[in-house]
A and B are shown apart, each in its own frame.
Chain A
Amino acid sequence: MNILDFFRGKAVTIPPMDGALKPNRSLDEAALVVAHAEPDNLVADGHSLFFTAGAQLLELAHGARQARVVETFPAAITALAKSEDDAWAVALQSGAVLVREKREAWREIASFKCPVALAFGAGQFLYLGNGSEAHPPSAWAHDLMAKGSSGSVWRLALHAGERERLADGLAFPFGIAVDHAGGRLLVSESWRHRVLAIPSAGGAPQPVLAKLPGYPGRISDRRGQGFLLCLFAPRNRLIELVLQEDAYRMDMMAEIPRDYWVAPALASGKTFLEPLQCGGVRTMGIHKPWSPSRSYGLVVELGADAEPIASHHSRADGKRHGIVSAVEWLGHITAAARGGDCIVRIAAHGGGEA
């Protein structure tokens, strides 16, 4: 630390996308699995791909062209998990956490302010990420702009009704994956741009992947072959600046509709009312892929040690933005682009830099 650093102020810097995060067009070139408005929360088994959209849980069978509705809930689904022995868990916008085992009826086992991540662990446990104590899941942008750090990670017993807080003070834990081999949970802490490791039995969280160039979201396990991490929105300098300018940010949040805030988004360029966000540089009518953007599509393949191996992008000029969930289905990485209204299939290790 140099004494002059006090006069320079805090630098706003964003790590570069290179190395394993080298940009490509892999998501834009990926095959379309199904087009559906705002798909979210993917789960796969050997035959079918399940996803949610609003309050519906849908199934897309292998080879089918249309998804069928499996279940409709009273509120939008915010998280979904399925265990090896066919137990299901969903979290709703209302805060309710529901579980269904062995084709029994759905039953509510808990309620939280902002349940956004679910994962089944060994021994009848369900892990849950509660994004915030102040805002519901749909108000994630509000939580970011309010610099929320009231998130927590919980372990819920499916039958005993017990719940144990494993970590708190987190800045929006948006994704949880169980690392069975390592006896730990990988938790993405979105607003701090990092992935934490939390011992399954409880203990201090340790960062395993930090300084990400976007906001990390859901993580899925690739059954011993590493993990898939979704970065649902990019960081950019204008948003970082606004996050530093408290008075401006408060005025913006008080006076401007949320869709038009200078804040990350799952999709952009849909209306002229959106903030320009550093330009969206165009030259001779061509949107430059490297230009700063409010939205982006990014899936990162992580190794078993949670280090990035390769990545799949939809850049500023792409359409498949806002990747909120990715799983491996029938040997392919399958990703839900909530901003692009579609689910796509990428060849494993086909993109990025191996």
Chain B
Amino acid sequence: MTAIIDMRKVTKAYRGVAAVKAVDFTLEQGEIHALLGENGAGKSTLTKIMAGVVEATSGEMLHRGQPARFLTPNEALNAGIAMVFQETSLVPSMTVAQNIYLGEEKFLNRLRGVYIAAQQFLQSLNFNVDPAAPVASLGAAKRQMVEIARAVHHKADVIIFDEPTATLTPEEKRHFFALMKRLQASGVSIIFITHALEEALGHADRITILRDGELVATGKASEFDRAKVVQAMVGRALTQQIYRKRNAAHLRKRGAKVLSVQDISMGNMVRNNSFSIYDGQITGVFGLIGSGRTETFKIISGVYKRDFVRGGDIELDGRPVRYNVPRQAIKDRIAYVTEDRKSEGLFENLSIAENFFSGLVAAGLQESSIVSLREMRSLSEQWSERLKVRAINSRAKAVELSGGNQQKVVIGKGLVQRPRLVIFDEPTRGVDVGAIAEIHQLINDLADEGLAVVVISSYLPEIMNLSDRILVFRQGRVVEEFSPVNATEEKIMYAAVH
């Protein structure tokens, strides 16, 4: 095999701090190469250098044996290197077809023709997405599909996927990996970054592991197993500790009923949904994409409104509530930690301190109506320490943080509001194993302190490990409740699917 990309001693430093330190990396022609590492390990930075998103501070990159230096993603794309980003970079106001063909518009465009071509193209990839649908109306999984379709459409010979499967259902993942194999068969080289170790072990030809910006291990996938990968990633065996099975003795007893949801409805997404949430317990919520779980909790936290007529009842501490805006829910001490941290969770261009402080302001808990830098700094130091946010300093912008640290800031923004009910929507999506352990510990601590905690997750081991009770959503309503002691992944999945 010949190396299509060969990186030699590549370093990238931000404000003097190296995100990638003298890394050697090769991508062979027609291989699937998994790139693993904790958040902040430098995986995204390394691939962004290849894709022309950022420029290396030092080192050399060879593309097909020739020195290459891409200053923009477009230059890389013209050279046949495409990157599918973790946070999708689609234009929300345009349709799926328009996004796929973005940049290839002719002087006169026949929209119908574009839609037909897009339909055929999406079908060839086994993606069930309406080409005429505006991207803004799509869920995270379908946006990811469009992003992938766009990269494939550009006929790139190197495609870099950053966390491609984080938002996909098991069925969609199967399609995705079949697509990856088809691309490989046609000679495309693929790098994919993932936190799901089984995906790397099961689908990659080679694996490279980074830790703290340095190359730790690289080799054939067959030479690795799960324990070896985790050991290399974090320097300690963690996964068994994170995803251990609960037993009855470890389950928390329910406290007082905090929230009673009765027959809430919102269009076709949430239908006559009823359940309760209790103090001092973690209620795990599992459901497939489209089961209405996120929408239900967005109604509770005032992001969405339930049906005007016969929309059901929500009682907080026995008091009926109906929120028109999230601020009202925040004032009632309900914190919703969003699954989409980029567009809903953070002010990317504000500092960590300003992000924390914005949470405080939303709850009206700041000491004075004039912004106090001292208060902001002390708040930031307190929460950065508690949440173990790793950043150069509190003035670092949120956009400069790794996914895991961004997630911690989003969580911190909610917790500064001193909530009594905290709703975590996919709290560890796109977060590495090390940060997952820290976030899980934090969630457990909150429940131990007596707070009512809800964890919505698509990852069954996470639900089974964290929850004191498990609610399964299907078609907009709770269809089953399990105790984690006698629940199995099969039982939960059966309830969610059938």
Contact = CB atoms under 8 A, between A and B. Distances in A.
A158 B469 CA distance: 50
Nearest to A288: B479
A11 B313 contact: yes
B321 to A, nearest CB: 10
Contact of B260 (A7, A8, A15): A15
B483 to A, nearest CB: 7
B254 interface: yes
A73 interface: no
B261 A8 contact: no
By DSSP majority rule, is chain A's interface helix, strand, loop, or mixed? loop
B274 A14 contact: yes
Given A22-B481, A286-B498, A353-B483, A16 B275 contact: yes
Contacts of B261: 16
A16 B310 contact: no
Interface in B309-351: 309-313, 322
Contacts of A16: 260-262, 274-276, 478
A283 B310 contact: no
B322 A13 contact: no
Interface in A11-41: 11-16, 18-19, 22-23
Interface string B294-314: 000000000000001111110
A18 B311 CA distance: 20
A186 B467 CA distance: 36
Contacts, number: 58
B444 interface: no
B308 A8 contact: yes
A8 B310 CA distance: 7
B263 interface: yes
Given A8-B308, A9-B310, A12-B310, A19 B480 contact: no
Nearest to B264: A13
Contact of B274 (A2, A15, A284, A353): A15
B26 interface: no
Contacts of B498: 283-284, 286, 288
Interface residues of B, number: 25
Interface string B436-452: 00000000000000000
B310 A11 contact: yes
A106 interface: no
A237 interface: yes
Contacts of A14: 262-263, 274
Contact of A237 (B263, B278, B313, B480): B263
B272 interface: yes
B257 interface: yes
B254 A19 contact: yes
Interface string B260-282: 11110000000010111010000
A284 B483 CA distance: 26
Instruction: Indicate the size class of the contact surface on chain A.
Output: 20 to 34
B263 A18 contact: no
A290 interface: yes
A209 B57 CA distance: 70
Interface in A286-328: 286, 288-290
A83 to B, nearest CB: 38
A13 B314 CA distance: 10
A342 B483 CA distance: 29
A283 B494 CA distance: 12
Contacts of A286: 498
A11 B311 contact: yes
A286 B497 CA distance: 13
Contacts of A11: 263, 310-313
Contacts of B481: 18, 22-23
Contacts of A283: 498
Interface string A207-245: 000000000000000000000000000000100000000
B312 A13 contact: yes
A2 B323 CA distance: 11
B262 A18 contact: no
Contacts of A7: 308-309
A22 B276 CA distance: 11
A338 to B, nearest CB: 27
Contacts of A15: 260, 262, 274
Contacts of A22: 469, 481
A13 B263 CA distance: 5
B278 A19 contact: yes
A288 B276 CA distance: 21
Interface centre among B262, B311, B469, B483 (most CB of A within 10 A): B262
A301 to B, nearest CB: 16
Contacts of B480: 289-290
Contacts of A23: 481
A57 B5 CA distance: 89
A284 B309 CA distance: 33
A19 B310 contact: no
Interface in A275-290: 283-284, 286, 288-290
A14 B322 CA distance: 17
Nearest to B495: A290
Contacts of A4: 308
A116 B338 CA distance: 53
B458 to A, nearest CB: 21
Contacts of B312: 11, 13
Nearest to A13: B262
A290 B474 CA distance: 11
A124 B311 CA distance: 52
Contact of B272 (A2, A8, A237): A237
Interface string B231-258: 0000000000000000000000010010
Nearest to B307: A8
A9 B309 contact: yes
Contacts of A237: 263, 272
B276 A18 contact: yes
B308 to A, nearest CB: 6
Contacts of B263: 11-14, 237
B270 to A, nearest CB: 14
A36 B398 CA distance: 70
Contacts of B278: 19
A291 to B, nearest CB: 9
9 contacts: A2-B322, A7-B309, A13-B262, A14-B262, A15-B262, A15-B274, A16-B261, A16-B478, A290-B479
Ranked nearest first, the 3 interchain pairs of A and B with the lowest CB-CB distance are: A16-B274, A13-B262, A13-B263
Given A8-B308, A19-B278, 18 more contacts: A8-B311, A11-B311, A11-B313, A13-B263, A13-B274, A14-B274, A15-B260, A15-B262, A16-B260, A16-B261, A16-B262, A18-B481, A19-B254, A22-B469, A22-B481, A23-B481, A284-B498, A286-B498
